[in-house]
Chains A and B, each alone.
Chain A
Amino acid sequence: DVKVTQSSRYLVKRTGEKVFLECVQDMDHENMFWYRQDPGLGLRLIYFSYDVKMKEKGDIPEGYSVSREKKERFSLILESASTNQTSMYLCASSFSTNEKLFFGSGTQLSVL
């Protein structure tokens, strides 16, 4: 069965901390994505990657960066966490363009 694994289910950080969210997929997918999910706003795309060492900005990249050193791993980095980055973060992957996305279970991040 296909699997997208996010490293933490719940995370609590302090304002100003550097935060790493990790995502690993075991399906040899080319594409990987980071979304945040907020009540009333749905899912918003932060960054995505079509290949190793390649990244593109989504709709809300400010305050975030990403890293994709290996095909199976896509990391989201909050350089200096702020309270408005408290959210549910969802990682997803897909094999190719227009193929369905497979999602991880999400990381609920709270920034205090």
Chain B
Amino acid sequence: GNSVTQMEGPVTLSEEAFLTINCTYTATGYPSLFWYVQYPGEGLQLLLKATKADDKGSNKGFEATYRKETTSFHLEKGSVQVSDSAVYFCALILTGGGNKLTFGTGTQLKVEL
């Protein structure tokens, strides 16, 4: 079956630190990959996506590269801010699989001054 594995949190960083949240996947076909973010008290919103191998998704200073050889889609940001504190979800959807997203368990990020 399809699955997404994320590093466990919480991840606690100081402002302006470098962020990496690891995500690896298992899929029976060719997935598109996503990062969603959930700010406190809100629903999830799409942060970035990549639809094929070697694609790089980017948004709001966050980046992730679709690595087929390592089945990974790690989220990175060069300098985090307090406002980036949230829960981050990695997800995949199979091409032709309708809209059935498979989510990871989420990684909580806390950024302190």
Chain A residues at the B interface, C-beta cutoff of 8 Å: 4, 31, 33, 35, 40-45, 48, 50, 58, 90, 92, 94, 97-106
Contacts and interface: CB of A to CB of B under 8 A. Distances in A.
B99 A42 contact: no
Given A92-B43, A101-B46, 9 more contacts: A33-B99, A41-B105, A42-B4, A42-B105, A43-B44, A101-B44, A103-B45, A105-B41, A105-B42
A50 B101 CA distance: 14
A103 B104 CA distance: 16
B103 A43 contact: yes
Interface of B: 4, 32, 34, 36, 41-46, 49, 89, 93, 95, 98-101, 103-106
Contacts of B36: 101
B105 A94 contact: no
